[in-house]
Amino acid sequence: MTITEMFQTKRCVFSIECFPPKQTTQMDKMKTTLTAMQKLNPDFISVTFGAGGSAGGVSTVEVADFIQNELHIPALAHLICMGNDEASAAEVLNRLDAIGVRDVLALRGDRTPARPESPNFAHASDLAHFIKYKKPHFSVHGACYPEGHPESETLRKDVENLCIKQRAGAEHLLTQLFFDNTCFYRFLNLARRAGVTLPISAGVMPIVKRSQIERTVALSSASLPSEFTRMISRWQDDPAALYDAGIDYAVRQLRDLIEGGADGVHLYAMNDAAVAEKLYDGIRDLL
């Protein structure tokens, strides 16, 4: 069954994100992690495109190959516009085609000084068009932002741009992480009213370590509900308690999303199989 067909048949599609290791010597550890995640029966696993995908280290294609062909789980390979032109994007698509991976998350990529703008793709929808033109048998997926993309003037404008992504051939959208489910429901309502009919998976990241508070929570523009900030201030100096509280918060968030009718839930588990397993245990009765 393709990922797109899963959204037509399953009540809630369950997926996990992973990222390629920065060094080739870490690939064995990565394989152990992914093999542990296989036991959670994810409907698909997505693989990010970043340092590993574009500048040394293990490539996105290599990790996707292991997931698809060794673990026999559908792999969703991320591909970004930044730093890629038509020739390099086509090369990645050919490599994916050769290993049987037919699902691509088309993204613009974040602007960083190290990444040149793409001469061919200004927006993710341009890359989506290109993928459908080069590989009509591929399924294209896209990103969306329940609280609006930081560069967008308004959430409404950002949602209107999702319609362009939809017209470019995207078949499914994955959200940025968020901690407040009311933001997701409000976004879903806006998107449906704007004519976005694609299935939308809700992305949830458990905050289980102090370093994530500094890196992820502080840098993300996600709204922080008072229950969440209370949890952080109460447990940030107690690693074991923060771990348990972070899992508990994410499980409650996920259960509410599944019961609230989300088309899919996507775990940003940061390559941590034990965390993914705890989250899965907390929601498996609903899946």
* Piece in contact with ligand FAD (CB under 6 A), picked from 88-96, 120-128, 232-240, 249-257: 120-128
Provide φ and ψ at 124, rounded to 5°: -55, -35
CA distance linking residue 209 with residue 254, whole number of Å: 19
Contact flag: residue 107 with ligand FAD (CB under 6 A): yes
Q: In the range 29-88, which residues lie near ligand FAD by CB under 6 A?
A: 48-50, 78, 80
Tell me which of 118, 125, 166, 181 binds ligand FAD, using CB under 6 A.
125
Q: How many residues belong to the chain?
A: 287
- Closest CB 145 distance from ligand FAD, rounded Å: 6
Contact flag: residue 252 with ligand FAD (CB under 6 A): no
Nearer of residues 30 and 242 to ligand FAD, judged by Cβ: 30
Answer yes or no: 17 catalytic.
yes
Provide φ and ψ at 75, rounded to 5°: -105, 140
Q: How many residues line the site for ligand FAD (CB under 6 A)?
A: 23
Tell me which of 5, 70, 91, 110 binds ligand FAD, using CB under 6 A.
110
The residue whose two tokens read 């010597």 is 25
CA distance linking residue 161 with residue 149, whole number of Å: 10
Contact 63, 26 (CB under 8 A): no
Number of Cβ within 10 Å of residue 243's Cβ equals 18
> Could you tell me which of 107, 114, 57 has the C-alpha nearest to residue 77?
107
Q: Provide long-range contacts, Cβ within 8 A and 24+ apart, for 242-246.
A: 242/207, 242/208, 242/209, 242/210, 243/208, 243/209, 246/206, 246/207, 246/208, 246/209
Q: In the range 200-229, which residues lie near ligand FAD by CB under 6 A?
A: 203
Tell me which of 102, 149, 209, 278 binds ligand FAD, using CB under 6 A.
149
Contact flag: residue 158 with ligand FAD (CB under 6 A): yes
CA distance linking residue 171 with residue 67, whole number of Å: 21
Tell me which of 151, 154, 218, 240 binds ligand FAD, using CB under 6 A.
151
Contact 172, 145 (CB under 8 A): no
* Piece in contact with ligand FAD (CB under 6 A), picked from 84-92, 143-151, 182-190, 278-286: 143-151
Active-site pick, 17, 62, 147, 171: 17
Tell me which of 152, 212, 220, 236 binds ligand FAD, using CB under 6 A.
152
Residues that bind ligand FAD (CB under 6 A): 48-50, 78, 80, 107-110, 123-125, 143, 149, 151-152, 158, 161, 164-165, 174, 176, 203
Residues marked active site are found at: 17
